[in-house]
Structure 1
Amino acid sequence: MRHIITWCSLVFIILSASSNAKDLELQEITFRETPQELYLELKSSTQFPLEFSNKSEFDLIAKKLGMSPDDLIQQLILLARLNLESNVNSDTKSDDAITLIKQLRIVATTPLDKAVITMLDGRLNARKNQDYTYAISQYNDALNKISSDLSLQATLFRFSIHEHLSGLYRMALQPSPNLTHLNRYREIAYQLRNDYFIALAELELGRYYNRRNEPAKSLQYYTEAFRVGNRINYPGIKAHAQLNLARTYRDLEQWDEALKHAHDATTSFQTFDQGSYTAEALTVIAMIYAGKKEWNKAIDYYLNAQQVNERLGNEIGQGLNSHNIAEAYLNLNNGPAALAAIAKANSIFIAKNVTHYLVYNEALYTEILIKQAMWLEAIEHAKKSLILATEKNLTDQKLEALKYLSMSYRKVGDLNAAIEIVDQIIELSDGINAVEQDDSESSGLTEQKLKFDLSLLQTKVNEQKTALNDNKLMTILLLCSAIIIVIVLLVTISRSQKIIRAQRDYKQQYLLEPISQLNGFRACILRLQNDKLSETSTFALLKIEALTHSDTQMGLTESAKIIQSFINELSQLLTADIYVIKPGQFACYFNHAINAHDLLSTIEGYVAKTTLFNPVIPSFNREKKLSRIYIGHINMPLLANPDISISAELHFETAQYAIAAAMTQTDNTYVSIKTLNFAPATIFSAPLYLNLTQALKRGIIKVDSNQIIAEESWPR
């Protein structure tokens, strides 16, 4: 049981340590990726500035903030580091850094914290006073203080120290220690097994060899940085990789690719609001145009970079851009503009005491003055350039300065001085061993270029393959979608056609009388609706007793045949459209006027000679009772006023009213209704039968019949 508890405790400690390690590494990545956001967050969480004069007061502040004193110390250290970063925007960050360093000295107790304070002091002097010698000394002192500390926190601190030391030695123009610290920087990154840190280290080594004009090695490290950077999801790393790829393409004079990567990097840095890197990317674009001898475009981008540096207060960056602008104006033969730009750069470098930039600036200053035939001024600046080059043991710069001096002395007529300078040039040249570049190095560069070009081609081929596969997949998907759409469309059209046919069939069935399947009541109403009631026409309802029960006496099939034959013959005889209302009752529509008497006579004559060929049903002429005929007759329009509209249904019901009265008689009877000219429209409204009966009594409508219709015979 005790072993199990011990094992569980060990697992918990390991998991906790692993989680803490990830948090520390993530903090360092956040420091580099989003420094401004981290800065604002730390200012809020620590409620900076804090006021305390001893450790006890500090502990009380930590307690009020809800954190341990050690956690608060680490947050203040991180805040101090951020105040010394160029890509953090704050008007008071220099003063804040001084305050934080002073306060941290009060509360720092561990060797690691004290080492960090030492480093911060050196970094502050380097940024504020450009005192790189003092900064290097402080950084090395910080390294010594944590030499025996193997914790992750100390390892990450060493990682940052070697990064900064390499940059300090670079600015101090000491390439050997610069490379030493870069290699140590890279070793720690691989020791941490963190792809983000590995990509950073590979990028820095690529930059080192790029500055050393060793493109083969530079290309090797940049390629590795780009490869590792593509494995991680940190856009800042990718942006830096793009920026350095732009530089590589620029050095290889592959201008289009260089511009593409430089513009991409600029866009990325602008998105992250990293002003210093934005200025650097804009400067690279300008240098690409300078490499293409497109000096006006180069000046435009140098000026854009200059604006960013001015906004950031980066005076060194302003000086470098002024130097580059002066070179561009020199190539455009714009002497006054070149002189103004180089003078601005010189004043900045002198004020900041950055002699490693000033030595090159004095040389360009001299060249511009010579171009303007300002010989005395050229001698003055050439001497300054020679002194600086001698101090820094820069042989090429010494030769350039001596060349300018020799030319200037000859132009002012001081031949003795010119001869003396020539002797120095000869002596310096003799001391230089003319070492030709090793063929293996040349072949190595060629091989690296070929490998790089091959890698680019393979990447493009892979991209094209991916794009082709995507296009094929998209084509297949579109084709499948089109087939599905066509199928759905065909099914929809087929269903629509079926629905249309069904609707058409339904409309036809809707108009038919169910038993005989001939035009019925609804067809009759439709005919009355379509009629031009302003024209004279006649409508009549006809009832023949012999056919009243034909559907049951003869069966539906036989009855339908007899009724169809009957209607066909009668419609031809009467020149009318005939509709089956129900068994034995029919509606007749005439396009002309026909009086009820003539209509009855014609039907009687037809019925008298018509025989039903069914032994069950007597013939029309066999039994008088079965031969009775009733007609309800109306002339249309019912009202003379064309502005008054009466519905088809009211016309039909009026005819029903007439035939209802006729059917009260024992002999063949017709009843015809006709309205007088002064009849109001209100008589043709509900209840219709009551209104018509009252109109009859009042004499508003006229009734004609072959029988005497008693008052009680009228329907109510």
Structure 2
Amino acid sequence: MRFILLVFSLLILFLSHFAFARDLKSEEVELRESPQQVFDRVNASLPLPPSPLETRSAFSAYAREQGLSVEELAELLALIARANLQPNVENANKAQDLELIVSSLEKSAATPYEKAMALMLRGRMLGRLELKFEEAAGYFIQALTQDQESQSLASQVLRLNLHEQLGGMYLMINQDVTALVHLQKFRDQAYQLRDDYLIANAEAELGKYYNKKQELTKALQHYSEALRLSDQEHHPFQRAFLQMQLAKVYRDLGQRSEALSHAHDAAETFGQLGSENYLSATLTAIAVTHAGNNEWNKAIDYYLNAVQVDRRSGNYSALARNFHNLGEAYGELGELELSLNYLQQANQMFAERKMKHFLVYNEVLIAKTFCKLSQWQPCREHADIAYDLARQQSLSDVLISALSQKVIAAKALADLAGALEFQEQIIGLQQEETAPQVAANPSTSALTEQKLKLDLHQKNEQLQESHAQLRERTILLAGTLMLVLTLATVVWHYRRSRLDLRAKIKSLKHKLPLDGATAHPGLPALRSAIKSPNTKAVALLRIASLCESDIQLGHKRMVEAALETANAIEKLPGIKAYVIRPGLFGLSFDEPIKAADALLFNLRNQLTHVDGWLQLSFINLPLLPNPELFIADNNHIEVLEMAMAGALSLDADKDLYVTLWALDFTPSAVFSHPLYLHLEKSIGRGLIRVETNGDKDKIAWPQWQTPVPGNDPLIN
């Protein structure tokens, strides 16, 4: 029977862990597919702190205010930040919110995962908002080194994102070799997570890489695999993204009708989803396709539509690129002044954002335009700038183009020596590129094969999906039947025993803080009250006339007297009473005790049903002025007991109180065991001060000695 219960428990644990894993990956998919919905949902459920949380303790305190653990708060804040950094997410306070969240996560991070997440978000901010790609890459690399050992699902998803960001960023700034390394690791990580959506994303990014490298066969292979995986579930955003990328491949293959078909389908979907950044990119892809067919007026129409979308969404990087494209198109139509106007606007925006990977192409196009206008000096100046930028980025094609403009300008200015020098440089660069580029020029048969594979995939997708669903349903049905039978058997055997056990546990939890005799909150409850941040003082109250009430009155009357006394005390505002033993009560206070005489007076007026004197010992919390120094809860009780012992040593001719308090420089070692010995010595040295309404000089502190085992002064 115990074995069956153990198997059942392990099964439940496995299933709950599996469910969490699925939730985490589903959250990643939802963040990529519908970032605005994720942002709206999480942002509405979690108010941001008014200012950055500067320490781990402040972070923990804010988490408690929201009813969350520290880990849950960190995850939700990171999710809000990641959603904010996705394209097309609208948030009027995006920059301020991101700085607040990322600063809080940076200053409160304690684990390698938390530090890596904060580093990734800082890098994403630099890359997304400030376009500082090299600095952003540095943060991403730091994040990878911070959390490279953990194999938890959260760490794997984090590494997947880091490799994706690094691959895309290095590809953008023309560091192709490094980009390929990270994109391959991105795909490897996606396969480890076994999620089709993420694998499709990774395949698409590799397709984008090979498309840029003009290795079109490989690009089609990766996009075909991505589309196959994407079609297994309904993800409209991802499918539209893949159609946009396929349009670019078909455009480069010269198959413009298929390119335009895919691009228009993608633009329609992006428009329906409200994904304006991607809508702009798709309109630009359509325009470039028309430009490749020398249909410059059609290209300009789509560029202008993309510009309107960019202005509406505030995507100034895309706006600058489309200004560049418009400058190129108008230049091809011979409208050179208008072309130069757009190119100069793009140049200013690229320079302001330090987008050197785009600026280099814009500078060489400006140089060409000035040469067409026969303005030789500006032509040479911009050609020089383009040449320097191209050398920094190792762009041989741009180097040749820039040198060609310098040759034209030099000849026009009769600088024949300069023109000859530039021509020799061009020849040298061209010779470096004479090696056969077999990989970059796929054969017609290979390209046709890939296209036929893609078409075949589109046509038999429904058949494959039906077979896959049938297999999955069969396996799921068999597994479900086995699980149901197992669970039914176990539940049938243990249902009643588990219900009884839960009832007993609930009863014991309720009784745990209660006094055994009176069923009123007792010593355990007092210890819990000491831990509460709302408790500002604790005390022991001894009523001499009730100390032998269990013997003098009998158990029943003793219980009645104790409850009557506790209830009477609790009628005073801000006080809770705890029954320790006959005649001895614990008290907790919402405010520090500043006037002990007034407190004794109020207690005396409230306890009109008891005779004899009252002895009160109390301490204000925290015991030490530095609240970060730790004192065990039991030690607080012993301090109260020693103060009560001091009160009992005085002649009881009136209500008495005794309290102990520590000076600012008192070390925490004073409150360690043997506590009575340490306290007595500290009182003599002046580290602990004593206050009483009796004769302080007559207090006789108890002599410390080795306690007899099982001798508890609160019980005996």
Partner of 1:417: 418
Counterpart contact for 1:220–1:448, Cα < 8 Å: no
The verdict on how the C-alpha distance between 1:433 and 1:256 changes in structure 2, with shifts beyond 3 A counting, is: closer
Deviations 1:558-599 (A, max 9, x none): xxxxxxxxxxxxxxxxxxxxxxxxxxxxxxxxxxxxxxxxxx
- Determine the C-alpha separation between the residues in 2 that align with 1:464 and 1:50: 52
Map 1:212-231 to 2 at 5 A.
212-231=213-232
Partner of 2:450: 452
- Determine the C-alpha separation between the residues in 1 that align with 2:106 and 2:240: 37
Partner of 2:18: 18
* Structure 2 residue 291 is the aligned partner of structure 1 residue 290: yes
Partner of 1:152: 153
Map 1:38-187 to 2 at 5 A.
38-51=38-51, 52-187=53-188
Deviation at 1:446, TM superposition (A): 2.1
The verdict on how the C-alpha distance between 1:167 and 1:462 changes in structure 2, with shifts beyond 3 A counting, is: closer
SS at the partner of 1:289? helix
Deviation at 1:398, TM superposition (A): 1.2
- Determine the C-alpha separation between the residues in 2 that align with 1:303 and 1:81: 31
- Determine the C-alpha separation between the residues in 2 that align with 1:368 and 1:165: 35
- Determine the C-alpha separation between the residues in 2 that align with 1:369 and 1:42: 52
- Determine the C-alpha separation between the residues in 2 that align with 1:331 and 1:85: 35
Counterpart contact for 1:182–1:201, Cα < 8 Å: yes
Partner of 1:370: 371
- Determine the C-alpha separation between the residues in 2 that align with 1:306 and 1:214: 30
- Determine the C-alpha separation between the residues in 2 that align with 1:463 and 1:78: 34
Paired residue type of 2:20: N
Counterpart contact for 2:56–2:109, Cα < 8 Å: no
The verdict on how the C-alpha distance between 1:144 and 1:342 changes in structure 2, with shifts beyond 3 A counting, is: same
- Determine the C-alpha separation between the residues in 1 that align with 2:366 and 2:319: 16
SS at the partner of 1:341? helix
Partner of 1:8: 8
Counterpart contact for 1:383–1:401, Cα < 8 Å: yes
Deviation at 1:200, TM superposition (A): 0.4
The verdict on how the C-alpha distance between 1:339 and 1:43 changes in structure 2, with shifts beyond 3 A counting, is: same
Paired residue type of 1:412: L
- Determine the C-alpha separation between the residues in 1 that align with 2:272 and 2:146: 39
The verdict on how the C-alpha distance between 1:110 and 1:454 changes in structure 2, with shifts beyond 3 A counting, is: same
Counterpart contact for 2:59–2:104, Cα < 8 Å: no
Paired residue type of 2:26: L
* Structure 2 residue 292 is the aligned partner of structure 1 residue 313: no
Deviations 1:669-715 (A, max 9, x none): xxxxxxxxxxxxxxxxxxxxxxxxxxxxxxxxxxxxxxxxxxxxxxx
- Determine the C-alpha separation between the residues in 1 that align with 2:128 and 2:105: 19
- Determine the C-alpha separation between the residues in 1 that align with 2:275 and 2:81: 19
Which consecutive unaligned segments of at least 5 residues does structure 1 have?
467-716
The verdict on how the C-alpha distance between 1:252 and 1:428 changes in structure 2, with shifts beyond 3 A counting, is: closer
- Determine the C-alpha separation between the residues in 1 that align with 2:358 and 2:454: 35
Partner of 1:333: 334
Counterpart contact for 2:117–2:143, Cα < 8 Å: yes
- Determine the C-alpha separation between the residues in 2 that align with 1:89 and 1:247: 28
Deviations 1:335-365 (A, max 9, x none): 1111111111111111111111111111111
Deviation at 1:321, TM superposition (A): 0.5
Partner of 1:37: 37
Deviations 1:595-631 (A, max 9, x none): xxxxxxxxxxxxxxxxxxxxxxxxxxxxxxxxxxxxx
- Determine the C-alpha separation between the residues in 1 that align with 2:71 and 2:433: 58
The verdict on how the C-alpha distance between 1:45 and 1:342 changes in structure 2, with shifts beyond 3 A counting, is: same
Paired residue type of 1:13: L
- Determine the C-alpha separation between the residues in 2 that align with 1:71 and 1:357: 41
The verdict on how the C-alpha distance between 1:180 and 1:53 changes in structure 2, with shifts beyond 3 A counting, is: closer
Counterpart contact for 1:215–1:445, Cα < 8 Å: no
Paired residue type of 1:451: E
SS at the partner of 1:434? coil
Deviation at 1:32, TM superposition (A): 0.5
The verdict on how the C-alpha distance between 1:459 and 1:203 changes in structure 2, with shifts beyond 3 A counting, is: closer
Deviation at 1:461, TM superposition (A): 6.9
SS at the partner of 2:232? coil
Deviation at 1:420, TM superposition (A): 2.5
SS at the partner of 1:72? helix
Partner of 1:348: 349
The verdict on how the C-alpha distance between 1:464 and 1:418 changes in structure 2, with shifts beyond 3 A counting, is: same
Which consecutive unaligned segments of at least 5 residues does structure 2 have?
465-716
Deviations 1:207-264 (A, max 9, x none): 0001111111111111111111111111111111111121122112222221111111
In the superposition, the TM-score normalised over structure 2's length comes to 0.62
Counterpart contact for 1:382–1:404, Cα < 8 Å: yes
Paired residue type of 1:289: H
Q: Count residues in correspondence.
A: 463
Counterpart contact for 1:83–1:93, Cα < 8 Å: yes
Counterpart contact for 1:84–1:94, Cα < 8 Å: no
Partner of 1:267: 268
Deviation at 1:122, TM superposition (A): 1.7
The verdict on how the C-alpha distance between 1:456 and 1:115 changes in structure 2, with shifts beyond 3 A counting, is: closer
- Determine the C-alpha separation between the residues in 2 that align with 1:129 and 1:167: 16
SS at the partner of 1:240? helix
Q: Which has the higher contact order (CA 8 A, sep 6+)?
A: 2
- Determine the C-alpha separation between the residues in 2 that align with 1:87 and 1:272: 10
Deviations 1:392-451 (A, max 9, x none): 222221111111101111112222322232233334344x1511233x775x54233211
- Determine the C-alpha separation between the residues in 1 that align with 2:54 and 2:199: 41
Q: Tell me which stretches of 4 or more aligned residues in structure 1 moved more than 6 Å.
A: 459-466
Partner of 2:519: none
The verdict on how the C-alpha distance between 1:463 and 1:100 changes in structure 2, with shifts beyond 3 A counting, is: closer
- Determine the C-alpha separation between the residues in 1 that align with 2:242 and 2:426: 42
Partner of 1:436: 436
Paired residue type of 1:6: L
CA RMSD of aligned residues (A): 2.2
Map 1:693-712 to 2 at 5 A.
none
Bigger Cα Rg: 1
Q: Which moved more, 1:3-12 or 1:218-227?
A: 3-12
The verdict on how the C-alpha distance between 1:124 and 1:5 changes in structure 2, with shifts beyond 3 A counting, is: same
Deviations 1:514-539 (A, max 9, x none): xxxxxxxxxxxxxxxxxxxxxxxxxx
Paired residue type of 2:364: A
Counterpart contact for 2:246–2:259, Cα < 8 Å: yes
SS at the partner of 1:353? coil
The verdict on how the C-alpha distance between 1:158 and 1:377 changes in structure 2, with shifts beyond 3 A counting, is: same
Deviations 1:648-678 (A, max 9, x none): xxxxxxxxxxxxxxxxxxxxxxxxxxxxxxx
Partner of 1:27: 27
The verdict on how the C-alpha distance between 1:277 and 1:82 changes in structure 2, with shifts beyond 3 A counting, is: same
Q: Which moved more, 1:299-308 or 1:103-112?
A: 103-112
Partner of 2:207: 206
Counterpart contact for 2:214–2:440, Cα < 8 Å: no
- Determine the C-alpha separation between the residues in 2 that align with 1:464 and 1:65: 47
Deviation at 1:458, TM superposition (A): 4.2
Map 1:619-634 to 2 at 5 A.
none
Partner of 2:516: none
SS at the partner of 2:149? coil
Task: Give the percent of matched residue pairs that are identical in Structure 1 and Structure 2.
Answer: 37
Deviations 1:440-473 (A, max 9, x none): 775x54233211343366468769999xxxxxxx
SS at the partner of 2:48? coil
